[in-house]
Structure 1
Amino acid sequence: MVAAGTLIWISIRPLIRLVLCVSCGFAVTKADLFPVVAARSLGQIILNITLPSLMFSKMVPAFTPENVGALGPLVLVALIYEGLGMAMAWVTRTIFWVPHRFRYGILVAGGWGNVGDIPTSVIMSITGAAPFGGSDQTLSVAYISAFILVYMITLFPMGGHHLVAKDFVGPDVEPDEVREQVRERRKFILYGWPNAFLNYVRLRRLRPSDSFKDDSDPELQSPTIEPKKETPSSSSTRPRPAKHVSFRNEQVDYYDVTHDHDLDASTAVPTDGIATPAPSHFASPAGTVTAHDLESEIQEEDEPRGPSEVVEKKPLTAPQRRRKRIVSQLKMAVKSILTPASLSMIISIPIALVPSLKGLFTATSNSHIPNAPDGEPPLAFVLDFASFMGAASVPLGLICLGSALARLKIPRSEWSNLPVGAIFTLAFLKTVVSPVIGVLITIGLTSARVISKEDKVLQFVCMFFSCLPTATTQVYLTQVYSGTGSAEFMSPFLLPQYFLMFFSMTGLTAYSITYLF
């Protein structure tokens, strides 16, 4: 049994380090020493070099044929947490009003959390010291990689980012109209549905002959619902704005450490008629999906066509449009899977499970491969390089997180016009209610023998991932799809979550260690 004082210190220590790293990024950004261009470049370095190196250096030594079965429970828990978060966001949207341009984005905010630098930093710190063992730190990062892989696949190849795009389809709806709709819905949820249910039961009990009775009897008349008149605001088409932000040469980062380097809307101003950005001097890494690829899934670029070209081009038939959409989605999925981080994880698992391959990188008991002249395996220098580069991933990612938070605009004078109920309800559900449910899910899966009772690292990782705030990557996706380069609804939803996160993580860590040890 760990002493109370020791338990509190173990829980708070990694968060202190996290706050210091984030504060450094916040400070240099506020001091105008870390511009958006630098944040973008650093994000690409993390995404394409340091993060894949970290995953490779931890997964190859950690996974063995005995513990590789943990990948199944990890993927299951990751999917459960995403579904749970989306359900919480849906409940929040049902009870409280949410801006019309955030009606689907709130589902993404609930379902996809910051699975990158925050859990990696805290979990590595906790599992690297007592009461965990010496090799538990390496194993914990290998387990974290499963959550990162599920995050990437569900958000991009499986189309989670389309929810953000749907927010900007159709005309605007005034906040007063949205508030009135939610108010009526709330009345029905609280006391309207019992009356409707009783009326339904009463009508079902009427004999067939009752249907011929005098309609003037109010007791026998069924409630009639007038068809809702369609207003111009209910149209499903949205006029295309005359101006739009060009993102042709910018890349969407899947790992949250890129932290949406264009958080400041003023940096995304280029519009039609001014000038599009010059091509980047740095080549895009192979397999990286660009923001233009994402935009092309929602709408095709408007290009001037001559009269002859318009006449000659035939409209696509329904099967052709369907085939074109499927091909586009397949290309998107392949590009998402072929990112360096995903490839690193895909390559690491076979190497870790095949003894003859693993013996090339690290010493194993059942490998008969001769060592290099220095007594190390022939490719040990590759693992050394990956470990050296991967060590920079977490601190650099936290600096980017601090930079992203520094660029969020805090509407101090507009809180009265914001959806305060939805903001604080979602923050409470994700940082307080979700950890409680996550602990119960982990305990239940352990009792059902889906999660091994002996693998305390696996149980701790599953519990910890239940208290993550919304991923800041959603800010960048919102900027891409908004058509204006702005994401004004995201800041108020993010800031309370990241504030409450420090308290919920401390409590969850303390309870998890007490339960496991």
Structure 2
Amino acid sequence: MSLTLGQAVWASIKPIIKIYLIIGCGFGLARLDILTIEATKSISNIVLTLLLPCLSFNKIVGNIEVQDIKDVGIVCLSAVLVFGTGVFFAFVIRSFMPVPKRWRGGILAGGMFPNISDLPIAYLQTLDEGLVFTVEQGNKGVAIVIIFLAMFSLTLFNLGGFRLIESDFKYHDQESALVDENYEMTDKRNVSSHGSSSVEPKTGADEYTTHENGSNDRNTLPSLTPQDSGGSQQSEVSIDSNQPKPLHHEGSVTNRSSRRRSNVSSMHTQELPEYPSQDMANLIRQYSNVDQFGRRSTGNQSSQSVTRQASIVERIKYSGLTRMLTSDAAVGAQDVQESGRALPSWLYRLSPTPYIVFFIKNCLRPCSLAVIAGLIVAFIPWVKALFVTTSNTPDIKGAPDAQPALSFIMDFTSYVGAASVPFGLLLLGGTLGRLKIKKLHPGFWKSAAILVALRLCLMPVFGVLWCNRLVKAGWANWDDDAMLLFVICIDWALPSMTAQIYFTASYTPTDAVDTVQLDCISFYLMIQYPVMAITLPVLVTYFLKVQMKV
């Protein structure tokens, strides 16, 4: 089917409209504090551990055949070129343009890693409505994108690409530590509380009486730590606890109780407006994994004591491996160093051991396992026949409904995986909605603008040239591999990954005053998405009319 120029332009713009509408919804939800930072982190973990693995397994098994091994190799090579070109441009900008010294690794990561999952999948799922591609071609394109995503994950996690971001952070030693009086008072209070642990706890009546007299009793001290301020009734401690308490008249107690219930009720009804809007400081507090010395924050200390006498499920829940594999930004250099410590000492002392063990650990990520399992099933025809029926699979006796015996797994992964892309785009919008910039390094805006121009304007040209080279070399052709070449081309035109925001926040101490790394990545990301709304449709229109000649 031949498309007019107007049809080609509309076909390239329509997916952008859908994508930006969903991103706009996430932006608005974040601004209204409906999509909170806590909710963002939870949904992100759900996408990483369940939704995206289901989508990956379903699309690979259903659309990759044994004869597509060559295409998988081409995708892997193309991914290396995309990452390599991006990091080269970033290195050139870092060398000759003003870039903060504390973001020299972050700019390399920003140039190297594109947002290679949700955006191209959403784009393809709009183009497969029949005007440009069929549904089968669209599903094949999604499977190709997932192979790109597997290469992205391999480079970012297994091969340690995250360390580019982490290398920008120089933490304090004991001599240069930032002293906070709150920390000192907290430590003193903790010591005193341990020393007075033999004091009997108050009864409910005593606690209530203390609360009622708290406003007029000079011997009542408020909590010294912000953490304890959340429970004001429990945090007030009477020093003169041995003094007799005056008895209250029954009627006055009843009146006070009713007033308390009224106050509590009004507090709940007015609770939401009282909280300030969440900003980058909240993001750092939620994602930060380190203190000012670079030591990993253990979070809730009780979780470590629970694991010593807990069930297997609780041990798995609180294990470092679970933390590392089920979150998108909870990994650091310390995880590399600690990998393999359970091995014999002579083996652990070998320099490659931690890196090999760390590489294997990251292969256990749910999405990585789904891709590996999907490729194994897809490349063994008689195993694939248990899941789907194609022209290349052998005839195997199916279930009573004449479907393959394991088709219910495909139904499950298809149904669950369909939510991955909408949630991903909502989270993208929520991330963009929280970006705020305190101050920029002098002249950095020029460096960021030039790097964005190179990434979103020049790299797509390289993508077209690379596709032409693949065709001339005989590795692909426009008749049979149109979708493969199309996906390769648009992956050269994607903006940087937004996950770098969360990586940067995870390496930022919660008490950090100067957040130059977050300021730089925020500005760098903010200027990319308006530009992509123009450059990507232009590239797609050109590719459809000139290269594919549709």
User: Into which bin does the TM-score normalised by the smaller protein fall?
Assistant: 0.7 to 0.9
| Cα distance in 2 between the residues matched to 1:55 and 1:339 | 13
- 2:336/2:354 contact within 8 Å kept: no
Which residue of the partner structure matches residue 179 of structure 1? none
Deviations 1:353-402 (A, max 9, x none): 22221111112344232121112111111101111011101001101101
| Cα distance in 1 between the residues matched to 2:72 and 2:112 | 20
Which residue of the partner structure matches residue 288 of structure 1? 325
Give the 3-state SS of the residue equivalent to 2:408 in structure 1: helix
Deviations 1:76-123 (A, max 9, x none): 010001000011111111221101111121111101110111111112
Distance 1:483 1:299, change over 3 A: farther
Cα shift at 1:126: 1.5
Query: In structure 1, what residue type is equivalent to 2:502?
Result: Y
Which residue of the partner structure matches residue 76 of structure 2? 75
| Cα distance in 1 between the residues matched to 2:175 and 2:162 | 22
Deviations 1:157-193 (A, max 9, x none): 112112122222489xxxxxxxxxxxxxxxxxxxxxx
Cα shift at 1:433: 0.8
1:122 matched to 2:105? The reply is: no
Which residue of the partner structure matches residue 6 of structure 2? 5
Distance 1:240 1:80, change over 3 A: farther
Which residue of the partner structure matches residue 227 of structure 1? none
Cα shift at 1:502: 0.9
Cα shift at 1:336: 1.2
Query: In structure 2, what residue type is equivalent to 1:381?
Result: F
| Cα distance in 1 between the residues matched to 2:168 and 2:506 | 12
- 1:410/1:491 contact within 8 Å kept: yes
Distance 1:75 1:271, change over 3 A: closer
- Counterparts of 1:94-109 in structure 2 under 5 Å? 94-109=95-110
Residue segments in structure 1 that go unaligned for 5+ positions in a row: 172-236, 245-260, 301-318
2:486 to 439, 457, 460: 460
| Cα distance in 2 between the residues matched to 1:387 and 1:415 | 44
- 1:170/1:238 contact within 8 Å kept: no
1:424 to 434, 445, 449: 449
Distance 1:115 1:297, change over 3 A: same
1:362 matched to 2:392? The reply is: no
- 1:92/1:422 contact within 8 Å kept: yes
Which residue of the partner structure matches residue 359 of structure 2? 333
1:160 matched to 2:167? The reply is: no
Query: In structure 2, what residue type is equivalent to 1:54?
Result: L
| Cα distance in 1 between the residues matched to 2:348 and 2:95 | 33
Distance 1:242 1:463, change over 3 A: same
Which shifted more, 504-513 or 451-460?
451-460
- 1:264/1:408 contact within 8 Å kept: no
| Cα distance in 1 between the residues matched to 2:76 and 2:365 | 19
- 2:456/2:493 contact within 8 Å kept: yes
Query: Scaled by the length of structure 2, what TM-score is found?
Result: 0.70
State the identity as a percent.
30
Deviations 1:450-501 (A, max 9, x none): 2333310001001000111111111222223344564222111111111101
| Cα distance in 2 between the residues matched to 1:508 and 1:113 | 17
1:50 matched to 2:76? The reply is: no
1:491 to 514, 519, 522: 522
- 2:55/2:417 contact within 8 Å kept: yes
Which residue of the partner structure matches residue 210 of structure 2? none
Give the 3-state SS of the residue equivalent to 1:264 in structure 2: helix
Distance 1:239 1:380, change over 3 A: farther
Distance 1:473 1:161, change over 3 A: same
Residue segments in structure 2 that go unaligned for 5+ positions in a row: 181-279, 305-313, 339-344
CA RMSD of aligned residues (A): 3.1
Cα shift at 1:449: 1.6
Give the 3-state SS of the residue equivalent to 1:373 in structure 2: coil
| Cα distance in 1 between the residues matched to 2:433 and 2:144 | 30
Q: Rg larger in 1 or in 2? A: 2
Cα shift at 1:130: 2.0
Distance 1:390 1:358, change over 3 A: same
Distance 1:482 1:448, change over 3 A: same
Which residue of the partner structure matches residue 502 of structure 2? 476
- Counterparts of 1:184-263 in structure 2 under 5 Å? 241=177
1:407 matched to 2:407? The reply is: no
Which residue of the partner structure matches residue 197 of structure 2? none
1:441 matched to 2:466? The reply is: yes
Give the 3-state SS of the residue equivalent to 2:492 in structure 1: helix
| Cα distance in 1 between the residues matched to 2:281 and 2:125 | 29
| Cα distance in 2 between the residues matched to 1:167 and 1:239 | 21
- 2:110/2:497 contact within 8 Å kept: yes
- 2:105/2:168 contact within 8 Å kept: yes
Query: In structure 1, what residue type is equivalent to 2:390?
Result: T
Cα shift at 1:268: 5.5
Distance 1:7 1:240, change over 3 A: farther
Which residue of the partner structure matches residue 314 of structure 1? none
